[in-house]
Amino acid sequence: MELEELKKKINEDFNNLKLNLQTLTELRAQYLGKKGPIQEMLLEMKNLPNEEKPKLGEKVNALKQAATELFDAKKKELEERLVEEQLSKEAVDITLPGKDINTGSIHVLNKVIEEVEDLFIGMGYEVKDGPEVEQDLYNFQYLNIPKGHPARAMQDTFYVDVDRLLRSQTSAVQARTMLEYGGNKDVRIICPGRAYRRDDDDATHSHEFTQIEGLVVNKDVTMAELKGTLTIMAKRLFGDDREIRFRPSYFPFTEPSIEVDVSCFKCHGKGCNLCKGTGWIEILGAGMVNNNVLSMCGYDPEIYQGFAFGVGAERIAMLKYGIDDIRSLYANDLRQNKQFK
């Protein structure tokens, strides 16, 4: 077979057959394998006279090399085409709309807690934690509410046994912290957390709620600082032009005790449905730490004094964001949560 003829035949096969890497290998075996035309020619060589052998040998080698080159080139071409196909299949279509990334959002109660924490950390407060299953001792007795005290009735709670209960107030952390600090270290803490009370569950009451407790104890803190602190908090939470007012109240663990109102942010004090016509909205209870509490918790009331306050996170959230049913705060309705991204 002549060189040109062989090349022509191979190219014809390349054009006529549906080639892939597999069929190419088969075709290669056909031309270059043991039963192929080139091998055949080599076999024929032994029948030739010796002087013709080199001439034919040269020719056959040229054929072999030419065929090998053709096959190698085709193989490379097919492999490249395969890679290209793969690449174009895997290509990203940047004109397609992207997938929706569903980000979570903070729960409004946590948002309130974080906001209050931020504010108080900025004023040098520490954030403290306490157990929700609390001892009667910390929840009541150290807070000047001995067993049988009538003030317990307002804070009936869920008892685990006679001495352990679901804490009815984060005020329990006041006693814990003062005892921990040992009676000679200044205290400046806030404590956000759950509290529980036996209560009707309706639009404004829940047996489980969230309080943020504040406590400052040192040698010279006064009610003026309490007022200043709560004014800053009211402005931060409800707007810069808010004012607060104190009304006398009663808590066994503070003396004097006060209830704190903030000027209505809806009507700016004129009177509306939110503030029930009074221009003021009650937001929290507070007072100067009762001497009995100080001394029971290891602080000498002749040297130390303190203030404390307790505010409901639900109340803040409901007022601030116009939420009209406390139960919706526990319902895990994403439509509510998503509004607080």
Residue among 192 and 285 whose Cβ is closer to ligand PHE: 285
Residue nearest to ligand PHE (CB): 310
The residue from 308, 313, 319, 326 that contacts ligand PHE (CB under 6 A) is: 308
CB of 128 to ligand PHE, least distance (A): 14
229 scored as a contact of ligand PHE (CB under 6 A): no
d(CA 120, CA 201): 31
Angle separating helix axes 108-122 and 313-321, nearest 10 degrees: 110
Amino acid, res. 340? F
Stretch that binds ligand PHE, among 98-106, 131-139, 295-303, 308-316 (CB under 6 A): 308-316
> Residue 283, class by beta-carbon neighbours within 10 Å (0-12 exposed, 13-18 middle, 19+ buried)?
buried
- Residue 290 in the binding site for ligand PHE (CB under 6 A): no
Amino acid at 21: L
The contact mask relative to ligand PHE for 188-227 (x = CB under 6 A, - = no) is: -------------------------x--------------
Out of 38, 286, 294, 319, name the contact with ligand PHE by CB under 6 A.
286
277: left (phi over 0), alpha (psi -120 to 50) or beta: left
Question: 121: which 2 tokens?
Answer: 């950390």
Phi, psi of 61 (to 5 degrees): -60, -40
Distance CA 199, CA 214 (A): 24
130 binds ligand PHE (CB under 6 A): no
Report the nearest approach of ligand PHE to the CB of residue 115 (Å): 19
Residues of the shown chain interacting with ligand PHE in the complex, contacts defined by CB under 6 A: 169, 171, 213, 251, 254, 285-287, 308-310
